[in-house]
A = this chain, B = another copy of it.
Amino acid sequence: MKSTLLLPLALALVLATTALAQQAAPKPTPPRPGGIPADAAWHDVTTWGVEGRGWADQERKKWFDRLPAKAEGKVTAAVWGLSRDSAGMMVRFKTDAKAIYTRYTLTKTNLAMPHMPATGVSGLDLYARDTDGKWKWVQVTRPGSAKVETTLISDLAPGLREYAAYLPLYNGIESLAIGVPAGAQFEGLAPRAEKPIIFYGTSITHGACASRPGMVHTAILGRRFDRPVINVGFSGNGRMDAAVGDLLAEIDAAAYVIDCLPNMGPADVTAKCVPLVKQLRAARPNTPIVLVEDRRFTNDWITPGKKKFHDDNHAALRAAYDQLQKEGITKLSYIPGDHLYGDDTEGATDASHANDLGFMRQADVFEPVLRAAMK
């Protein structure tokens, strides 16, 4: 595929060179990398803000960190490190441009994982509202280095419309700008004031193994509910920690989704679930709380050991849920884990982490429960 992609590029370069050679002065300003005109107008997204960046008014180590600076040393070192990925953040803007460019610098040079492509780990994933107001997909970057400067999309249909770009799932952002051709209308749209849905979870919530940042279920649900989401997924380290609970309780959320079981065992669930829910409930008496069982491994039909692990985890969460209900905790919902990835064994890339098919199915299971909870 590489070679066939390079051929047209090489041809274009030859043609461009020939054209330039035949042309007399004045020479046009050479285009920047990624076919971007030199006079493109650039807009730094930090000047108007990013959705999914909770605790936005608090001091931060880096602007695109998911957690505020004060979290360092309170949450575990692993959680702190993982919180520096931009998972779940999304920037909105309005433009009538015929082309959209982006220039961003990633914090890590490791752009992909063996089971997740660079488009998902380090890509910027663009959507736009159609005339019916619905979010539709536009294009994703294909990062080849930690410095990305590229045309996201060109030859767009005319019209002033709203766009939303999802930030990388398993990489961090040093800086991020959106560019448009000179003269195009452009307006950065501030994060919406609506209460966000907060997802506290594991690598799956973090986004493994979505092919693009817009395909993690938290992003899919954000588009379906058309409201901000905050992704507090920490790969391997979503463990119902009280220190994370302290942070969550600070945010006046539309709902808290607690989806940590894949990183926990039954004893851990029994010890930590009831306290975490009570901690959130004490701070936010009326905020819906949704408890989620761990999905089944898609190969658990042939690996009985894993089946037992999930049986036990499910039972522990169900017992915690029953106890909380018995103690009179209201506005509590429950999502069983058995069918989160579907029933045909095809919903994951590596048994544990969803592929795009599994994320879509997971969003389908979450949606009605969340809709009822937030009524």
A-to-B contact residues, CB < 8 Å: 1-5, 78, 81-82, 110-119, 128, 130, 136-140, 142-144, 153, 155-157, 170, 203, 206, 208-209, 211-212, 215, 220, 235-237, 298-299, 301-306, 344-346, 349-351, 355-358, 360
Contact = CB atoms under 8 A, between A and B. Distances in A.
Contact of A360 (B3, B235, B346): B346
A125 to B, nearest CB: 10
A122 to B, nearest CB: 9
5 closest cross-chain pairs (CB), A and B: A4-B236, A114-B142, A137-B345, A1-B235, A355-B356
Nearest to A143: B114
Contact of A211 (B142, B299, B349): B349
Given A1-B235, A113-B2, A211 B212 contact: no
Copies in the complex: 2
Contacts of A2: 110, 113
A299 B153 contact: yes
B119 A115 contact: yes
B118 A115 contact: yes
B119 A349 contact: yes
Give the most central of A128, A298, A302: most B CB within 10 Å.
A302
A355 B216 CA distance: 13
